């Protein structure tokens, strides 16, 4: 785990793994947001030609990124992560959205035979949670895919109690506006900019408009969601959290814990959760007085809990 953490730290600095090399130097300099560090090294698809592609042949993807009010967000970074027909995984270099939040992604020739796709949408240097949405590719033969549904990015709220960073090896309680508390050890975080100083979170209902990564069955199991920013992985299985029991789960009851895979999201047993995967990773417990749900959170992406 230590070796992996060191490697991930390097990736946050280099921010190049899994990206196509089509970005201009200006684009690379402007984007200080980490690339998808969990992307596997890939070999080009052996059969990218449309005539022989055994999956969905795609040359261009267009869509938009919006805020919760449906307004387009300029300078967002929509990053398309692809599982190719040859099973390789690659995340493409993200373009910038225009003034209306619209984007166009030109898919490199070597990655056009697509089996599955996930969109990672973020707004660098803002207190917005990164969104991961599964992309449903149409079955028609057109090489161009126009995504009708926009990708919604959710604002988060800065911590209300954020102790000075000080000794980065020492745990400290970080509190948020709804009463959420997390025991944070700064040295055990691998976060996108601005790091510890920018910790923010927000509680949301699982059926909030724009939450794209839950299907109906998953949504029915979740009592509440939390969106975090900045995105990142936490070492040694994550940090202990005390979550307000706003849904009145019974005292001392067991609770199912869920999270959304993101930037190199690694569970305590070493399992890597893929981008956009919603997984039940463990269990927590409602406190004896029924006031809080006690849980361990391994990644700062999206977290949820519900009755077990």
pLDDT in tens, 199-258: 999 999 999 999 999 999 999 999 999 999 999 999 989 999 999 999 999 999 999 999
Report which of 236, 185, 263, 302 is spatially closest to residue 9, judged by C-alpha positions: 263
CATH code of the domain containing 11: 2.60.40.1120
Point out the domain boundary residue: 125, 152, 179. Answer: 152
pLDDT of residue 268: 93
- Same domain flag for 199 and 96: no
Mean pLDDT, the chain, whole residue set: 87
* Statement: residue 13 has pLDDT above 50: no
Point out the domain boundary residue: 135, 152, 169. Answer: 152
Helices and strands, number each (H, E), in the chain = 3, 22
Q: What single-letter DSSP state applies at residue 35?
A: -
3-state SS, residue 28:
helix
- Same domain flag for 145 and 26: yes
Contact 159, 138 (CB under 8 A): no
- The predicted-structure confidence for 76-120, as pLDDT tens digits, reads as follows 999 999 999 999 899 999 999 999 999 999 999 999 999 999 999
Task: Give me 237's structure tokens.
Answer: 């299985």
- Same domain flag for 207 and 129: no
Point out the domain boundary residue: 90, 124, 152. Answer: 152
Going by pLDDT thresholds of 50, 70 and 90, the confidence category of residue 47 is: very low
The percent of residues above 70 in pLDDT, for the chain, comes to 84
- Same domain flag for 141 and 239: no
- Same domain flag for 134 and 192: no
- Same domain flag for 45 and 20: yes
Q: How many domains does the chain divide into?
A: 2
pLDDT of residue 264: 87
Distance CA 126, CA 129 (A): 9
- Same domain flag for 139 and 236: no
* Statement: residue 129 has pLDDT above 70: yes
- Same domain flag for 146 and 162: no
Among 51-55, 108-112, 266-270, which stretch is predicted with the lowest mean pLDDT?
51-55
- Same domain flag for 204 and 136: no
- Same domain flag for 54 and 189: no
* Range of the structural domain that residue 199 is part of: 157-307
- Same domain flag for 207 and 254: yes
pLDDT of residue 48: 63
- Same domain flag for 142 and 6: yes
Distance CA 255, CA 295 (A): 9
pLDDT of residue 265: 95
């Amino acid at each position: 785990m230590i070796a992996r953490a060191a490697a991930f730290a390097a990736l946050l600095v280099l921010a190049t793994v899994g990206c196509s090399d089509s970005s201009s130097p200006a684009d690379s300099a402007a984007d200080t947001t980490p690339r998808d560090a969990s992307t596997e090294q890939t070999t080009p698809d052996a059969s990218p030609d449309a005539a022989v592609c055994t999956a969905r042949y795609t040359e261009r993807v267009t869509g938009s990124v919006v805020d919760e009010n449906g307004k387009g967000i300029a300078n967002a970074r929509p990053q398309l992560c692809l599982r190719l027909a040859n099973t390789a995984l690659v995340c493409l270099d993200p373009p910038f959205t225009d003034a209306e939040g619209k984007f166009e992604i030109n898919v490199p020739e070597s990655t056009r035979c697509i089996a599955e796709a996930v969109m990672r949408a973020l707004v660098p240097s803002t207190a917005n949670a990164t969104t991961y949405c599964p992309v449903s590719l149409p079955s028609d033969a057109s090489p161009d895919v126009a995504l009708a549904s926009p990708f919604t990015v959710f604002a988060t709220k800065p911590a209300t109690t954020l102790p000075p960073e000080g000794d980065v090896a020492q745990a400290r309680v970080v509190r948020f506006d709804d009463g959420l508390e997390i025991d944070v050890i700064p040295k055990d975080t691998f976060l996108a900019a601005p790091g510890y100083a920018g910790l923010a979170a927000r509680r949301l209902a699982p059926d909030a408009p724009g939450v794209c990564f839950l299907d109906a069955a998953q949504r029915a199991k979740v009592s509440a969601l939390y969106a975090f920013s900045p995105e990142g992985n936490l070492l040694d299985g994550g940090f202990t959290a005390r979550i307000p029991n706003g849904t009145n789960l019974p005292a001392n009851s067991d609770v199912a814990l869920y999270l959304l895979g993101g930037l190199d999201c690694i569970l305590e047993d070493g399992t890597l959760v893929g981008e956009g995967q919603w997984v039940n990773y463990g269990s927590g417990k409602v406190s004896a007085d029924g006031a809080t749900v006690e849980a361990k959170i391994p990644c700062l992406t999206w977290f949820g809990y519900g009755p077990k």
